[in-house]
Amino acid sequence: MKNNFAPPPTYKKLARFGLAVIFGFSMIISSCIPEPESPKIEVSENSQLMKVREWFEENKNNLRLPERGSNFRTDAQELILPFFEKEPDWDNFHHYYFPDGREVFEINLENVQTYIPISDASEDVATQANRSIQNILFVKHPTENRFDPLIARYYPDEESSKREFKEISYQMIDEKWSGWIDLFTYDEHYFIGFQVEKGQITHTRKFKQEGQNAKKAIGFENKDVRCPLVTTDWLNITVAGNVVTITGLNSTTSQSCGMGSYDSGSQSNGSPSYNYGGFPSSGVGSSGAPSGYPVPDDVPLPKLRIYLSQKVSKYPLLECAISKIELSKFIDQLAIFSQSATGANVTLTVGKTQNPRAGAETDGVTYGYNNIIITFNEETIGKKSSLDIARILIHEIIHAEIFSALGQERNSSLLVGDFAHNFEIYKQRFPSNNAIQQHEFMADFLVEKIAKELQKLHPYLGKDEFFNATANNWHKGIIHQGFYTAIAWHGFNSTSRWINNENKAYYQKLQELDNRLTKNCQ
Amino acid sequence: MRAKLLIILLYSFSLFSCKEKEDRILSTLYLNSLSGGNKGDTLLIILDAKSEFTQKRIEIISNEKYIYYRRGFDEDPNLIVNMGSYPDLGKLNIKIKSLINYDVLYDSLIPFEKWFYLDYEKYFLIEKEDLVKANREGLHSLVFLEIAMNSHGII
């Protein structure tokens, strides 16, 4: 039925006016509604940043080397860039943590002067300088009330890798970025360099340091074809308005090595890190560093991040278990958990698994090794004990690390020494199935490691309740380490190591107790 | 509907005694009564401890009896249901005619997914052999032992 009713023109005007008034008021009211949460975070980060700034203002004069004219290099053949602009642009900063828990503020420098290595002689140096980024990292000392500053320079290979400050940091290299990242100490001693190709580190470089007034011969170790010596020319580029001043610096010699074949990596808490060998953190270094100059003990590899999808927040026990496994040094060295997807190469979520019988799955194939997906089975996660969830998390993170290491063609991994060589054996033994390869590898190398981590985590995950329920099984009131080994075997029961395990019956008895594990997490 | 099922059950229990027909009765019991599992519910499990896929182990510690069952699966040894009867857990004495009030799972008929997805507050178990024996002897009630349960899927 058609409705022929229409208001007279006067009422139409009134109605329109009324609507306009309502709209106007709603605009005013809505503009007054404060944005929840985000301002608080900003205030909190800014107050922390203020502390860094205060510390820097108080100490910056002590951090600087005396002016040394144009001596860009010492007689020791070490690259030392002259003191130049070191004033941070405090409005542009990143805030994150190194894997070992040290807090880092990475702040943009004003970039009036730029130092660049010449990577492509055919390209305009001003263009190369224009796309490079120079930042200063303040690494909070874990025990002392100070920060250790480092200069990070990002040299993109080409224009497509040019990034704004907000788009790149030492812990956030995207998968399309290629170029070099060089780290210098605050007084411009060279620290370490990383070559990155499409988001993955492929090479490191360290400048050769030689004896004072001596030309060191290239020894046998330097003839290693894996670590050839590379000569680099450096330019100092200053932009003032439209005037670009280019000053040539002397060349330096560095040793460039593929990942895993280099001798500079050390294991700090099991994590690969890089020490500045010729520059001790106290006293006068071989290259003339000032006494007492603060140098970070080590700098970790830029590492991968696990993005916790929003679904995770719907599973409090999973969230709690994640917060506990972050306490594990082993996991802390492998992974950073983040609420932000930016820069993440692993996503942890809860949903349907491809195999309905899976407790969880890690897929490093479908979307590539830079987009690994760990999925907990939504049908079963609710029935898991907290220690079971922690065990599955560790298990899947190891899968993710294997996918990542293989994808990056890394020679090294925290999982096992000489990773590439060791894993190659499993590839050859089980060529058709990467799940079998990985499980056989994990069963051979990592069960005890998982067990030890579970033992350390259990006090946070209902150990007392479990102990009370199973007390008759334990001598001297202590849960035997064998129990954790037994449950670490879950998921590996198809492997040859388990099938042929001479202690299988013993472990199976201990596994029978895991039905008394609880959902406590505190 | 419930009354009808109850009559069928009682009729079945009283009339049939040969093994083949017992299995059919138990199948009917399962097929008609398992609701799928809601948290807070109690599930009664009738376990075939003689099955080649079930391992049973009894342990006596300080005169207390511990019974362990592992329901393994030939297709993947990672798929395991692990159950245990412990002295600190309870018992449930149920009149046969009251069975209809519970969810009942007959393990030989259940694919792993059913075990894997179980989400009951409490689990009570009786071995199939004991159930059959009770039926033969004309007992009016059954004793189920409370068990703790865990299941492991592929990871």
What does the alpha-carbon distance between residue A419 and residue A413 come to, in Å, rounded to a whole number?
A: 6
pLDDT at A305: 86
- The verdict on B82 touching A (C-beta cutoff 8 Å) is yes
- Whether B70 and B54 have beta carbons less than 8 Å apart is answered as yes
Torsions phi, psi for A369 (to 5 deg): -75, -5
Contact A357 B113 (CB under 8 A): yes
Partners of residue A392 in chain B, C-beta under 8 Å: 155
- Whether A452 and A390 have beta carbons less than 8 Å apart is answered as no
For A128, the enclosing helix (H) or strand (E) is: helix A125-131
Exposure letters B101-115 (e unless 16+ CB within 10 A, then b): ebbbbbbbbbebebb
Among the listed ranges A211-220, A314-323, A325-334, which one has the minimum average pLDDT value?
A211-220
Instruction: Give the distance, in angstroms, between the CA of residue A170 and the centroid of all CA atoms in the same chain.
Output: 8
| Cβ under 8 Å to A: B residues 18-37 | none
pLDDT at A251: 66
N-to-C CA span, chain B: 42
- Whether A130 and A111 have beta carbons less than 8 Å apart is answered as no
pLDDT at A258: 58
What does the alpha-carbon distance between residue B116 and residue B152 come to, in Å, rounded to a whole number?
A: 7
- For B101-151, write each residue's pLDDT tens digit: 888 888 888 888 888 888 888 999 999 999 888 888 888 889 999 999 999
DSSP 8-state secondary structure symbol assigned to residue A383: G
Neighbours of A331 (CB within 10 A): 23
- Whether B131 and B58 have beta carbons less than 8 Å apart is answered as no
What does the alpha-carbon distance between residue A343 and residue A306 come to, in Å, rounded to a whole number?
A: 9
- 3-class state of residue A353 by DSSP: coil
pLDDT at B126: 95
pLDDT at B113: 82
User: Which residue in A361, A508, A515 is closest to B149 by CB distance?
Assistant: A515
pLDDT at A273: 41
Contact B113 A356 (CB under 8 A): yes
* Assembly ipTM: 0.78
Q: Which residues pair with A80 in a beta bridge?
A: A189
**Percentage of residues in chain B having pLDDT higher than 90:** 33
Q: Is the dihedral of CA B50, B53, B55, B56 positive or negative?
A: negative
Q: Where are the beta strands (DSSP E) in A2-102?
A: 88-97
What does the alpha-carbon distance between residue A45 and residue A10 come to, in Å, rounded to a whole number?
A: 57
Torsions phi, psi for B58 (to 5 deg): -115, 135
Among the listed ranges A122-131, A453-462, B23-32, B64-73, which one has the minimum average pLDDT value?
B23-32
**Percentage of residues in chain A having pLDDT higher than 70:** 64
Q: Is the dihedral of CA B128, B134, B138, B139 positive or negative?
A: negative
Q: Which of A326-340, A344-358, B131-145 has the highest mean pLDDT?
A: A344-358
Per-residue pLDDT for A364 more than 60?
yes
What does the alpha-carbon distance between residue A313 and residue A311 come to, in Å, rounded to a whole number?
A: 5
The average pLDDT across A249-256 equals 64
Partners of residue A396 in chain B, C-beta under 8 Å: 155
Instruction: Give me the DSSP letters along A485-509.
Output: HHHHTTT-TTSHHHHT-TTHHHHHH
Q: Which of A158-162, A367-371, B13-17 has the highest mean pLDDT?
A: A367-371
What does the alpha-carbon distance between residue A389 and residue A320 come to, in Å, rounded to a whole number?
A: 10
User: Which residue in B57, B68, B154 is closest to A358 by CB distance?
Assistant: B154
How many Cα atoms occupy the beta-carbon half-sphere of B45 within 13 Å? 26
Given pLDDT bands bounded at 50, 70 and 90, which one contains residue A228?
Answer: low
- For A384-440, write each residue's pLDDT tens digit: 999 999 999 999 999 999 999 999 888 888 888 888 999 999 999 999 899 999 999
pLDDT at A10: 55
Q: By CA distance, what is B60's nearest residue in A?
A: A472
Q: Which of A70-74, A192-196, A225-229, A414-418 has the highest mean pLDDT?
A: A414-418
- Whether A99 and A139 have beta carbons less than 8 Å apart is answered as no
- For A129-169, write each residue's pLDDT tens digit: 778 888 888 888 766 777 888 888 888 888 888 888 888 88
pTM for this prediction: 0.56
Exposure letters A112-137 (e unless 16+ CB within 10 A, then b): ebbbbbeeeeeeebeebbbbbbbbbb
List Cα–Cα distances, A283 to A117, A290, A293, A295, A367, in angstroms.
Answer: 30, 7, 8, 11, 50
**Percentage of residues in chain A having pLDDT higher than 90:** 34
Partners of residue A498 in chain B, C-beta under 8 Å: 77
Nearest to A487 by CA among A361, A377, A388: A388
